[in-house]
Homo-oligomer: A and B are copies of this chain.
Amino acid sequence: MSGTESKVEFTISEMVESAAGKEPMRKSTRIFEQYLQPCLAELYGTTLFVFVGCASVMGNIGAFGVIQPAIAHGLALAVLIMLFGKISGGHFNPVVSVSVYLCGGMKLALLLPYILAQMLGSVLGAALTMGVFPDITYNAASGGSFVLPLTADLAKITLAETIMTLFLTLVVCMGAINKKTSTSLVAFCIGLTVSANILAGGGLSGACMNPARAFGPAAIANQWSAHWVFWVGPLCGALINVTLVRLLLGDQITRVWLK
């Protein structure tokens, strides 16, 4: 695949019209394909991602280490980005959407709808998890929500989430938007980064990196303790990353100076 093709993975604007081919697309179709279908893809993809993620946490109860949830989250995310990348960009994560917007990869008009779709999708995914698991398993895993030990140092946990999200959003911005380094394998790069991060910090902070992934299970299990950590940490990581990419790591188009 060409660099151009991989660049559009995370953008959605022009694609639709070119797909329509020779004859102009009807207005209802264009609105559907440019606004509604991307939001549906974000909602549906987040539902499946959160379902698999929470279920893999339940399947891991009593196990040593975090290999099972690490691989499950990473593979499910990679596949979903591969599938929905050309429809919505395949974000499934509010701070990824913020990063893509700030790096110039999506329209502002879609930012809020995407975030709402991701949060709703996460609630649905978490509800489905509750629907299929026996209560005893569901409760033992707090529904797949992020529960920190009482002794946890929240500053350290927030910093861990910041660093891991920095890595994740670096892969998104450099692999999908920054032309010089973009790759057609970006979906696998993102999924495998999530796997690596969970293998690294899963036992510490849960390696959430995604406020939507935290929100749904928290809402269904009504477990809000230290929930802010999973918004503040990832958001800080995304903002630091955008600053680094825009100032230092981006190519001449992405960079805001030294053109």
- List the interface of chain A (C-beta within 8 A of B): 19-20, 26, 28-29, 32-33, 37, 40-41, 44, 48, 51-53, 55-56, 58-60, 62-72, 74-76, 78-79, 82-87, 128, 131-134, 137, 153, 156-157, 159-160, 163, 166-167, 170-171, 174-175, 180-181, 183, 185, 189, 192-193, 195-197, 199-205, 244, 248-249, 251-252, 258-259
Considering the complex, give the chain B residue whose CB is closest to the CB of A30: B258
Partner of A204, one of B41, B55, B197, B259: B55
Known: A156-B134, A189-B82, A200-B56. A29 touches B259 (CB 8 A): yes
Partner of A37, one of B44, B86, B249: B249
B64 adjacent to A193 (CB under 8 Å): no
Partner of A156, one of B37, B68, B70, B133: B133
Known: A37-B249, A200-B59. A189 touches B83 (CB 8 A): yes
Q: Which residues of B contact A70 (CB under 8 A)?
A: 68, 71
A55-B201, A79-B189, A79-B192 are known; give 15 further A-B pairs, CB within 8 A: A51-B163, A52-B196, A52-B200, A55-B200, A59-B65, A59-B203, A67-B68, A72-B199, A75-B195, A75-B196, A82-B189, A83-B183, A83-B189, A132-B159, A134-B156
Inter-chain CA distance A131–B59, complex, in Å, is: 31
Please report whether the interface of chain A is mostly helix, strand, loop or mixed according to DSSP: helix
Inter-chain CA distance A33–B203, complex, in Å, is: 38
Partner of A133, one of B75, B197, B204: B204
